[in-house]
Structures are given as C-alpha cells and as structure tokens.
C-alpha cells in the first residue's frame, strides 16, 4: 500500500509518500508561502535527488495539485500515476473530546472538525482545507485523520480540568487537550524498543522541543499529563509563545496597553518566548550563539527560563509518575542541542537522572543513549517521526475498513 501523508499549515503543506510494505519513504517535501509571492515547492526523492520549483500557488488545493504532479513527473517523480496512491493520512491538530483515536474521514467527520475550529482556530481550518482539496483531486481515495490531541485524550480529569467553574467545561469544552501527541507517542514507543521492556512496566517523560515545545508524562504507555493545554500556548517557554503565565496578567495587559483580543493573541503566540525575552531570535541556535559568543544578557535570560522551566516540569512529572525509567529528548532542539539537554538535567542526580556529557555532545540529530554509567534513569535522544505514525494508522484503518466492506 502507498500512503501519502499530508500536514497542512496556514501557508505550507508538508508531504511524505510511503511504501508501507517496507515503510520506505519514496519522496518527501513541502510547499511554502502558499497564497504569497515567491511560493516554492521543495521536493526530495528517496535517492536524494532534490528539486526546488517556484510558481504561483494560490491555495492549498493548488499546492496539493503541484505535489501530485511532481510525484508522477518523469524527471522527479516516484510513481507513474495518481491512482497508485492508495490512501491519504492527514495530520489534524484538534480532535476535540470526540476523537480519541485516528478515524476514517467521512462527511460527518469533516462536519465535526468544522465544529472544532473554535478550539483550534490557527490550525484546524487549514487541515480541513487540505482534506477538501484531496477530496477534489483524489475523489475515491480513502483518507484518515490523525489527531495531535488523541494520545492525550485519556488523561485523568484532575490533570485535564482547570480550576474554573465546571459549567464552563460543560458549556464550551474548556479543558486541557495537549498537542504533539503523535510525536510523544512515537518516541515513547521507540524508547520502549531501546529498553527492550514491556510498555506497561515503563514510566517515561518525553520532551518535544521544536518551535513549539511540550513535555508529557507517559505511564504504562498512556499520556497521564502534558504541558500544553486548551491551546498550545500553555507550558514550556517556546520560540515565540510565552508558555505558563499568570492568567490575570492578560487582563492587566489588555488594560495597560489598550490591546484588542487579537493583539493579545499575537503577543502571546508570536512575540513572546525566546524571541520576546531575548529580542535576539526565536531560533535556539542563535540564542546559544548569542550567549556563548557575545555574552548577550537577554539571550542568557531566555535560555535560563527555557531550561529552568523544562527542569521544573521534569521534576513535577517524575513526582506524578511516582518514579522514572526513561527521559527522552526530541524535536529540533531536543535532537540537536546538547547545551539544552545539559542545562535542563543539571543537578537531577537525586532523581536518578544523569547524562554522560561526552555522549551528549556527540549526539546531534541522531538517535542515541546519553545516559551516564551510574544513572538510574535512561536518557535518550530520539528523532521524532510523526509522519510514520500517521502512515501506519492510515494503513491500519483503511485495511480494517476494506475488510469490513
């Protein structure tokens, strides 16, 4: 079976085409700047043949049309015709309380997703655009939605409810949902494989540190708590998001700065985090360079907030799990930054966490065990692979549906 995995953002579509027999990635790439000047498709074939094409790409449907065209093109393609694509797996950010698992996309499912736009206004509309575009372009090909929220959907109520009037939960579904679920799921399973133990016996903390950052406590294979909440703004400090703040601060700022609700949203999502604190960059590489090479004081504060808060959550989740077997770092920062891994685990020997700095500084962008010899807890760097999880779920659900039919 060949599965096309799509991740549709506001102005980008990322794709990977899998051959599921050997889980081989035939081609991958992304279209950027959709609807803007200078839209471009970057495509990489399995033999590392790369091509970049600029063009006018006015919307998500045009982007997906472009992707399908390159997948079948004589010079850059990997299949002969669109019909070779057996299924499409869509990354969908928010599944609300309804979708606790991946699901075959039907008209009803799309209607439900439409209802959740309120919950994820920055993400779900683009995911829906991608689904509708595929329906136009690949009419009979089955599609599956894989949700960022699903892995966290079985958290206990005391972890997902806020201390707000309960009626607001009932009225508006206001609760913590959590995100990055596919990534936390993948790396926790991979850690289990590396440890060669049963998932049921393991307590794992997974740190997904990319542009967005979240940390999850995984007990016996299930997410029991995660740092992102009703929206992806809660929790750790991120590239441009604030993470945890005193909620009353929002009211104070609305009044002081005479901000609109939209301005406040932009402030919390786009002008805060590493960028907002440092004034240097939202990119961890540039923050670390500014600290180490220029002694930039605000970059130092941003890095300290980032790693201090991460450490605080590692401690909190070790407590809620009642012990810890493995700590996992993933995402662009988690996979590539030994500095962040060192700073966020410094002094955690009393929890059994201790990393070997030589191994830590040798492990960048690859899988590795960076545990020091005396540590009780294994610490791993595991490159995430959300696309593979989406492809596997898509194949499974489409196969089940065909067997039922």
Catalytic site positions? 148
Asked whether the CA dihedral 320, 322, 327, 328 is positive or negative, the reply is negative
Side by side, the strands of the sheet bearing 13-19 are 50-54, 40-45, 24-32, 13-19, 2-8, 87-92, 143-147, 103-104
User: Nearest-CA neighbor of 127 among 179, 170, 79?
Assistant: 179
The encoded tokens of residue 112 equal 């439900």
Burial class (CB in 10 A: 0-12, 13-18, 19+), 64: buried
* Residue closer to ligand ADP, measured from CB, 181 or 331: 331
* Residue closer to ligand ADP, measured from CB, 333 or 390: 333
* Residue closer to ligand ADP, measured from CB, 325 or 339: 339
* Residue closer to ligand ADP, measured from CB, 333 or 353: 333
Quote the radius of gyration of the chain (alpha carbons, Å): 21
Chain residues that interact with ligand ADP, rule: CB under 6 A = 210-212, 239, 283-285, 331-333, 336-337
Q: Are 86 and 402 in contact (CB under 8 A)?
A: no
Least Å distance, CB 52 to ligand ADP, is 19
Least Å distance, CB 312 to ligand ADP, is 20
Least Å distance, CB 54 to ligand ADP, is 22
Least Å distance, CB 285 to ligand ADP, is 4
Q: Are 376 and 342 in contact (CB under 8 A)?
A: no
Least Å distance, CB 179 to ligand ADP, is 11
HSE-up of residue 348 (Cα within 13 Å, Cβ side): 34
Q: Are 152 and 223 in contact (CB under 8 A)?
A: yes
* Residue closer to ligand ADP, measured from CB, 61 or 231: 231
- Residue 347, φ and ψ in degrees, nearest 5: 80, 15
User: Shortest Cβ contact with ligand ADP: which residue?
Assistant: 332
Least Å distance, CB 183 to ligand ADP, is 9
Q: Are 6 and 85 in contact (CB under 8 A)?
A: no
Pairwise CA distance, residues 32 & 199, whole Å? 38
* Residue closer to ligand ADP, measured from CB, 298 or 399: 298
Least Å distance, CB 239 to ligand ADP, is 5
Pairwise CA distance, residues 290 & 284, whole Å? 10
Collect all residues with Cβ–Cβ distance below 8 Å to 402 and sequence separation of at least 6: none
* Residue closer to ligand ADP, measured from CB, 243 or 331: 331
User: Nearest-CA neighbor of 8 among 78, 84, 99, 89?
Assistant: 89
């Amino acid at each position: 079976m060949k599965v096309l995995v799509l991740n549709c953002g506001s102005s980008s579509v990322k794709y990977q085409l899998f051959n599921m027999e050997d889980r081989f990635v035939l081609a991958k790439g992304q279209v950027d700047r959709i609807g803007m000047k200078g839209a471009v498709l970057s495509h990489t074939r399995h033999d590392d043949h790369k091509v970049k094409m600029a063009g006018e790409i006015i919307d998500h449907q045009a982007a997906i049309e472009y992707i399908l065209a390159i997948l079948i093109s004589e010079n850059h393609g990997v299949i002969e015709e669109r019909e070779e694509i057996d299924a499409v797996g869509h990354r969908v950010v928010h599944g609300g309380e309804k979708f606790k698992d991946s699901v075959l996309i039907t008209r009803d499912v799309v209607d439900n997703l439409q209802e959740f736009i309120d919950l994820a206004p920055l993400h779900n509309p683009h995911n829906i655009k991608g689904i509708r575009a595929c329906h136009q372009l690949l009419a009979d090909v089955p599609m599956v939605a894989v949700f960022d929220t699903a892995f966290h959907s079985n958290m206990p109520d005391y972890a997902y409810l806020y201390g707000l009037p309960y009626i607001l939960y009932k009225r508006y579904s206001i609760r913590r949902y959590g995100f990055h679920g596919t990534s936390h799921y993948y790396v926790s399973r991979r850690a289990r494989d590396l440890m060669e133990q049963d998932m049921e016996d393991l307590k794992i903390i997974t740190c997904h540190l990319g542009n967005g950052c979240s940390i999850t406590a995984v007990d016996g294979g299930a997410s029991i708590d995660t740092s992102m909440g009703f929206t992806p703004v809660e929790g750790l400090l991120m590239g441009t998001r604030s993470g945890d703040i005193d909620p009353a601060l929002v009211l104070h700022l609305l009044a002081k700065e005479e901000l609109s609700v939209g301005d406040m949203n932009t402030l919390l999502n786009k002008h805060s985090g590493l960028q907002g604190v440092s004034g240097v960059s939202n990119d961890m590489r540039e923050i670390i360079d500014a600290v180490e090479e220029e002694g930039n004081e605000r970059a130092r504060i941003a890095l300290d907030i980032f790693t201090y808060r991460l450490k605080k959550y590692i401690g909190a989740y070790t407590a809620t799990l009642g012990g810890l077997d493995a700590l996992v770092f993933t995402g662009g920062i988690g996979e590539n930054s030994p500095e962040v891994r060192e700073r966020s685990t410094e002094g955690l020997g009393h929890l059994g966490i201790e990393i070997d700095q030589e191994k830590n500084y040798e492990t960048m962008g690859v899988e590795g065990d960076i545990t020091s010899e005396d540590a009780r807890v294994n610490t791993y760097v595991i490159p995430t692979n959300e696309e593979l999880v989406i492809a596997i779920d898509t194949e499974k659900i489409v196969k089940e549906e065909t067997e039922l039919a």
